[in-house]
């Protein structure tokens, strides 16, 4: 980094003598030259130290830039994941609400179907009982008709004393027959209604099971999405803080780099000045060097 000529003027060879220029003046210049050598060496050391410091600051700045780029990318990726997780959470929330509404509707439908089944069961039981009663009444009427006819029969007699009972029994039988026919129809209708109600109740019960399963699944998915969104948000915050810290580190490293570059330039300029002063002192010393003769 520096050029120092350390040669002195004591180059006295065997038998040589000095003549010409003043030896004392030359000695003074020699001492000044030696002082400039020391100053130049010191300036060189300082300049070398400043150069090393600036090189280290350059590397630290490059490392800080690389770290900031990496943490910035990681922060961006984490934010993207967080946004994705938030959208997934919103979708899971909507699905959970939809599943809950469907479950409420299915519950109400199943309750209605159960009530209809109970009513249909009661109606069919009532119709069956009415049919049984009507059948029994018809049997009684038929028996009454037969009894009246038997008690009224007198050979060669067209109209006996029990003819009125026979007419009454016949009328009863007609009424009982009509009643039984109506009861048969009612029992058939209620039986059909019972079959429909049974099918509806079975269908709504199956639907309720399905909706309950779907609601449980949607609730679980929403819980999982909530956990993931929270974790993604925390990670994004941590990565953002790291990126902010690394960005600040770049600014600080740039400041230190600029300061180190400024010191390197200043000490480099000082070294050049010291080199110039040294060279001038050396030249002055050489000019004042006494001539030697054998």
Write the pLDDT tens digit of every residue in 195-219: 999 999 999 999 999 999 999 999 9
Looking only at the bridges linking them, the beta strands covering 17-19 and 291-293 are antiparallel
Residue 18: strand pairing partners: 292
Number of domains in the chain: 1
* 191's tokens: 């039986």
Write the pLDDT tens digit of every residue in 151-164: 766 555 555 556 77
Q: What's the pLDDT band for 22 if we cut at 50, 70, 90?
A: low
Q: Residue-wise over 32-48: b if at least 16 C-beta within 10 A, else e?
A: ebeebbebbeebbebbe
Residue 19: strand pairing partners: 291
* Distance (Å, whole) CA 81 – CA 232: 7
* Distance (Å, whole) CA 95 – CA 221: 9
The CATH number covering residue 250 comes to: 1.10.287
Half-sphere exposure of 32 (CA within 13 A, CB side): 17
Residue 49 domain flag: yes
Residue 292: strand pairing partners: 18
Domain carrying residue 113:
17-76+93-293
Q: Residue-wise over 252-267: b if at least 16 C-beta within 10 A, else e?
A: ebeebbeebeebbeeb
Residue 218 domain flag: yes
């Amino acid at each position: 980094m520096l050029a120092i000529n350390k040669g002195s003027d004591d180059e006295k060879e065997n038998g040589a003598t000095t003549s010409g220029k003043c030896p004392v003046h030359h000695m003074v210049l020699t001492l000044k030259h030696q002082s400039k050598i020391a100053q130049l060496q010191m300036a060189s050391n300082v300049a070398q130290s400043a150069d090393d410091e600036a090189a280290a600051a350059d590397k630290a700045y490059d490392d800080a830039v690389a770290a900031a780029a990496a943490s910035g990318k990681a922060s961006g990726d984490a934010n993207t994941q967080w946004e994705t997780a938030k959208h997934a959470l919103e979708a899971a929330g909507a699905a959970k609400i939809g599943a809950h509404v469907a479950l409420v509707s299915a519950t109400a439908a199943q309750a209605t179907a159960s009530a209809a089944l109970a009513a249909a069961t009661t109606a069919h039981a009532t119709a069956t009982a009415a049919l049984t009663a009507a059948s029994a009444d018809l049997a009684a009427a038929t028996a009454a008709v037969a009894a009246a006819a038997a008690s009224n029969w007198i050979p060669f007699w067209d109209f006996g004393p029990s003819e009125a009972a026979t007419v009454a029994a016949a009328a009863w039988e007609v009424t009982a027959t009509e009643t039984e026919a109506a009861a048969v129809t009612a029992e058939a209708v209620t039986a059909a209604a019972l079959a429909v109600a049974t099918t509806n109740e079975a269908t709504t019960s199956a639907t309720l099971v399905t909706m309950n399963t779907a609601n449980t699944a949607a609730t679980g998915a929403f819980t999982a999405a909530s956990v993931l969104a929270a974790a993604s948000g925390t990670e994004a915050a941590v990565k953002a803080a790291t990126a902010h810290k690394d960005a600040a580190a770049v600014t600080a490293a740039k400041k230190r780099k600029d300061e180190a570059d400024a010191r390197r330039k200043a000490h480099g300029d000082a070294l050049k000045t010291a080199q110039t002063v040294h060279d001038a002192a050396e030249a002055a010393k050489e000019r004042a060097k006494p001539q030697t003769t054998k």
